[in-house]
Amino acid sequence: MLTITNIKRAGSDALESITIEEGLIKGWNLPVEGKVIDGQGGTLAPAFTELHAHLREPGQTEKEDLASGLAAAAAGGYGTVVSMPNTRPVVDDPAIVRALIEKAQGLGLARLRPAAALTKGQQGEQLAELSYLKAAGAAMFTDDGQTNENARTLRLGLEYAGSLDMVISVHAEDASLRAGGVMNEGPVSEALGLPGNPVAAEAARVARDMELVAQTGARLHVQHLSTARALDIVREAKGRGLPVTCEVCPHHLTLTDEALRSFDAIYKVAPPLRTQADADYLLQGLLDGSVDCLATDHAPHTRAEKERDLLEAPSGIAYIELAFPLMWTRFGEQLGLDRLIDLMTVGPARVMGWPEPSLEAGAPADVVVLDLQTEREVNPAQFKSKAKFTPWAGERLRGWPTLTIVAGQVAYQRQD
């Protein structure tokens, strides 16, 4: 039994308490018993769900591993994380899915729901053993990091995954158009003399994929939309009633290609940072409901790798610990607390077809307490992630998680 006292629900100023028993919410404002944690006036929300994180295990544990990545997630207020399969080896084997789930269960941090590769070795040609991967516990199928160049394979994958009632998520960039682009193609890339990645690489690929959804009727989730044009295409597909969902990442809302003027590869990410007009347009998509959820694409690399020059450095920004504070500080007023929380809880659950997170009695006790007021400086040295550097170092943000409970157990509690 655990009771969290002195907490508010979003939209209310009343101080209440919530009692948790055997991994479930028992009820609100019950007589206090068992272990007590003082919520210190924070706001209680369902713990967040991350549909897109690179935890790098197996094989690249110098960048991140399950323990560091799931601790970082819990510190960011996440109760559930879908890990990407672009590891070494690739997660295309049911035994790896099972091993990841088993290992994560022993950690007592955020829950892990591993995604499995859609194709063997993420090579894009031969479908992986999708039904066995599902039976092993795979949450979804994706070749993220790779780009599903073979449309026929993706079509077959959609038919197969659809028959299993599983979601496929796609990294929608046309590799031939992206070519060697290391940043958004536009006036800034031209001024810097750096190879650009055009809007059409994303938009053309999203348009192709919408046709495959129309053909198959299967569920497709478009990852990390970065351009206004691609969002329009998704919106149009939704208007046709196609079973399409999409996510946007906070880095595409808060940073633009102007950041590359620093020539710092910390800003190199795929798809790339775009223009302010794109960022503004994506934010409108969060407001009008055409974007289904937020996801971070937490993509840790070693500092040495990210200190290479822009042409050589790998793509990726790792900031699962900052996602809520960043969004709340920058866009809290426009989005409102309820919408922001929905985009990180109910939104991802609906994409997956999972039960909607709730704070009612009987719901799983996966909750987060958020300090919406206190400004704190971002100090990457304190990150749980192995990637202890970030574009937002030194910024003052509000909305820090102070306590994350997963299955009724403390997965994170701020110490200072």
Active site amino acids:
297
Of 295, 270, 289, nearest to 197 by C-alpha is 270
Edge-to-edge strand ranges of the sheet holding 244-248: 141-142, 168-170, 220-222, 244-248, 293-294
Cα(362)–Cα(38) distance, integer angstroms: 22
Query: Taking CB under 6 A as the rule, does residue 369 contact ligand DOR?
Result: no
Query: Taking CB under 6 A as the rule, does residue 266 contact ligand DOR?
Result: no
State in angstroms the smallest separation of the CB of 382 from ligand DOR.
Answer: 22
Query: Taking CB under 6 A as the rule, does residue 260 contact ligand DOR?
Result: no
Cα(236)–Cα(219) distance, integer angstroms: 16
Cα(54)–Cα(306) distance, integer angstroms: 16
Dump the DSSP string for 214-266: HHH---EEE-S---HHHHHHHHHHHHTT--EEEEE-HHHHH--GGGGGG--GG
Q: Which of 273, 299, 369, 387 binds ligand DOR (CB under 6 A)?
A: 299
221: phi then psi, degrees, rounded to nearest 5: -115, 125
Is 224 within any annotated ligand binding site? yes
Q: Is the peptide bond before 58 cis (omega within 30 degrees of 0)?
A: yes
Residue type, 110: A
Q: Which of 71, 244, 270, 323 binds ligand DOR (CB under 6 A)?
A: 270
Q: How far is CA 16 from CA 20, 37, 44, 106, in A?
A: 14, 12, 10, 32
State in angstroms the smallest separation of the CB of 77 from ligand DOR.
Answer: 22
Query: Taking CB under 6 A as the rule, does residue 315 contact ligand DOR?
Result: yes
Q: Which of 19, 80, 83, 86 binds ligand DOR (CB under 6 A)?
A: 86
* Span from 21-29, 45-53, 174-182, 314-322 in contact with ligand DOR (CB under 6 A): 314-322
State in angstroms the smallest separation of the CB of 269 from ligand DOR.
Answer: 4
State in angstroms the smallest separation of the CB of 63 from ligand DOR.
Answer: 8
Is 171 within any annotated ligand binding site? yes
Is 38 within any annotated ligand binding site? no
* Span from 106-114, 213-221, 309-317, 366-374 in contact with ligand DOR (CB under 6 A): 309-317
Is 55 within any annotated ligand binding site? yes
Residues that bind ligand DOR (CB under 6 A): 54, 86, 144-145, 171, 269-270, 299, 314-316
